[in-house]
Amino acid sequence: MLNTILGIKGNMEARYNLRGHRVPVTVIKAEPNVVVDIKGDHAVLGLGARKKVKKPQNDFVNKVGVAPRFVREVKTDGQVKIGDKITVAIFANQDAVKITGITKGHGFTGGVKRWGFHGGPKTHGQSDRHRAPGSIGQGTTPGRVYKGKHMAGHQGNEKITVTGLEVIEVNPAENMLVIKGAVPGFRNGYLMIEKTGKVKKYVAPPEEKPKEDEEEKLETKGSEEPKEPEEPKEEKKEEKQTKEVSK
């Protein structure tokens, strides 16, 4: 079976765990995905339906009867067929997932917003250097700007993948997934959720058992009977009394 499903990002909410701690979560709406095509060891998953079908999507209509709105290729083990439906039931609580999406676009931004530059000083004769990037390289050597230099430019609207996320809740009746933390993209944006395993929880190490020598010592200590307190000797008192009488 497949370990990937396509979904739509919903709102961010808060849930409370068993310890009473407030946990931020993201709700993802994942309607049943349809396998619209198979290409070798990859299956083509489709989500939603187009209102207007164009000629390139007619192949999907002929195979499945619908032209999906969002399509992605995922790796398969060969056990799926065209027309199969993939639901959120493939996930379980405490599953580790990685989510791929398109980040929010911020347009053309400066270095302060895009990379967190601090800008120039606001006093000592500075007039228009408050949000300037400053020096972008050296002079004669190397006499150029290094590749990958952080500068102003287009921010966001990029495909990224966030790993190490945890599934908090699975609701097959409502086709809903609840993920711990934030996921990339804007509200109602398309996401690809892939299961990567189980979240590793901290397990306290077992208590070490005492060695044989220590066990014997404990047994001998426990077997010894407690000694009764000795009665104070009265001989010395009698000697003192005799001395006083003789005097």
Q: Is pLDDT at 185 greater than 80 in this prediction?
A: yes
pLDDT in tens, 207-245: 776 566 665 666 666 555 556 666 655 555 566 566 665
Confidence (pTM): 0.74
φ, ψ for residue 20, nearest 5 deg: 85, 10
Q: What's the DSSP call for residue 105?
A: P
DSSP codes joined into one string, 200-238: PPP-PPPPPPPPHHHHHHHHHHHHSPPPPPPPPP-HHHH
Three-state SS at 126:
coil
Instruction: Please give the share of the chain, as a percent, with pLDDT higher than 70.
Output: 84
Q: What is the pLDDT of residues 2-58, one digit of tens each?
A: 899 999 999 999 999 888 999 999 999 999 999 988 888 899 899 988 888 888 888
Instruction: Find the helix or strand (DSSP H, E) in which 49 lies.
Output: none
Residue 184 pLDDT greater than 60, yes or no: yes
pLDDT recorded at residue 77: 82
* More reliable by pLDDT, 66 or 4: 4
- Chain segment 72-89, per-residue pLDDT in tens: 999 988 788 998 999 999
**What is the residue extent of each domain of the chain?**
107-155
Lowest-confidence range among 13-22, 101-110, 176-185, 197-206? 197-206
Q: What's the rounded Cα separation, in Å, for the pair 91 and 97?
A: 9
